[in-house]
Structure 1
Amino acid sequence: MKRTLVLLGVILVLALAAVYQNKGKSDEAITASTEMKPKPGFVAPTLNLPDLDDQKVPVAGKRDQLLLINFWASWCGPCELEAPDLQELSEEYKADMVLLGINATSYDKERQAREFVEEYKFTFPILMDRDGKATDLYKITTFPTSLLVDRDGIVRERVVGVISKKEWQSKIEKWIKVQK
């Protein structure tokens, strides 16, 4: 009987310690470790990448608008399929969302990436991941991969592959409403 009470006491102390240790963490974003993919609920890694004019542009972090980050390559067939939709989405939601296209230049040829941008008449910022740092940080293994990041820099959606424009509109509108 005495041993049972001691065991219950130890269990109670451990349970209280666990509750105390995790108190207040439910609303905080989790920072992804270097082995983990940034996924919904995780802080999007921040870095600066050069645009087509070699001007540094911040990726992720806190900002005034929703952020759609799209990783692509010029040789990627699915990237070609989604290109017109991305351009339309960037125009349609320009008041509430910023779209950044990140070319996986370390897996691509920069000349071909620039031709791709011209062919699809992209007007949103295109960033060049020449050293593969962004691709590594975001754990991109498939193209296209896109992340929807809220104003606080928290990943809200991670989409691997192509989805329809209508599905993108639904996701974007959902997070615009949440942030208003």
Structure 2
Amino acid sequence: MNRNRWILAALLVLLAIALLDRGGQDGWFSSLSGDSKGSEKEPSLSAMAAEGAPKPGTAAPAFSLPGLDGKTYEVGGKRDKVLLLNFWASWCDPCKEEAPELKALAEKYKDSLDIYAVNVTLYDKLDEAKAFVKEYGYTFPVLLDEKEEAYRMFNGIAFPTNVLIDEQGVIRDVIVGVIPPEELEAKIKNLI
């Protein structure tokens, strides 16, 4: 009987230490002690993406990537048209959701907008990316970011990530996740 009490006491002490310490993290104990850090909201995906990423109003990082069509595409510097960079993966359900809208925007604004669909191939399979492009009927360039280099330049953290770049090569907006189609179109129309 004494042995069971000692085991129970030891378990309660360990549980108390775990709850109070939490490995040195701010958490349950800090909120009890009135520490305001424990009550802060988690940062949004957009806020996390913004940390260390090129900001709207700054020049887009320069890079070149091969396309599915065998050509090499370059980003950075002045352009003839506004550019929408769309970072995606074939397994991404939100990417599937926005794919028809991207196709419609490409057709509607073909004279004033370029869309580069950048498949982050490091996180995807090339065959599945090709099947996605065929299924959704992409007619705009599909670039292959095989080493995640371009995606990292924009501090990508989620799919899809869309970056609007004006004709001067300046980033005008970074959109993490899917937004309503009319909102994306309004952002594009403001630039063209």
**Shared fold, TM over 0.5:** yes
Q: Does 1:173 align with 2:180?
A: no
Name the CA distance, whole Å, in 1 between partners of 2:186 and 2:69.
33
Aligned to 1:36, the other structure's residue is in SS state: coil
Structure 2, unaligned runs of 5 or more: 1-50
Partner of 2:119: 103
Shift of 1:132: 1.1
1:81-110 Cα distance to aligned partner (Å, 9 max, x none) = 000000000111111110100000011111
For residues 58 and 178 of structure 2, the distance between their equivalents in structure 1, rounded to whole angstroms, comes to 22
Greater share of residues in helix: 2
Deviating above 3 A after TM superposition, structure 1's stretches of 4 or more consecutive aligned residues are none
CA contact under 8 A between 2:69 and 2:141: conserved in structure 1? no
Aligned to 1:4: none
Using the size of structure 2 for normalisation, the TM-score is 0.72
Query: Which aligned pairs between 1:59-78 and structure 2 lie closer than 5 A?
Result: 59-78=75-94
| Amino acid aligned to 1:103 | N
User: Cα RMSD (Å) of the superposition?
Assistant: 1.1
In the other structure, the counterpart of 1:85 is 101
Point out the structure with max Rg over C-alpha. 2
In structure 1, list runs of 5 or more residues that go unmatched.
Answer: 1-34
Report the Cα offset of residue 168 of structure 1. 1.4
TM-score normalised to structure 1 length = 0.76
> Equivalent of 2:74, from 31, 34, 58?
58
Give 1:139's match in structure 2, choosing from 146, 150, 155.
Answer: 155
Secondary structure of the corresponding residue to residue 146 of structure 1: strand
Q: Distance in 2 between matches of 1:169 and 1:78?
A: 17
The answer on whether the counterparts of 1:148 and 1:158 sit within 8 Å (CA) in structure 2 is yes
| Amino-acid identity (%) | 46
The number of residue pairs the alignment matches comes to: 142
Instruction: Indicate conservation of the 8 Å contact 1:70/1:99, yes or no.
Output: yes
| Cα distance in structure 1, aligned partners of 2:178 and 2:169 | 23
1:122 maps to what in 2? 138
The DSSP-based 3-state class of the residue aligned with 2:100 is helix
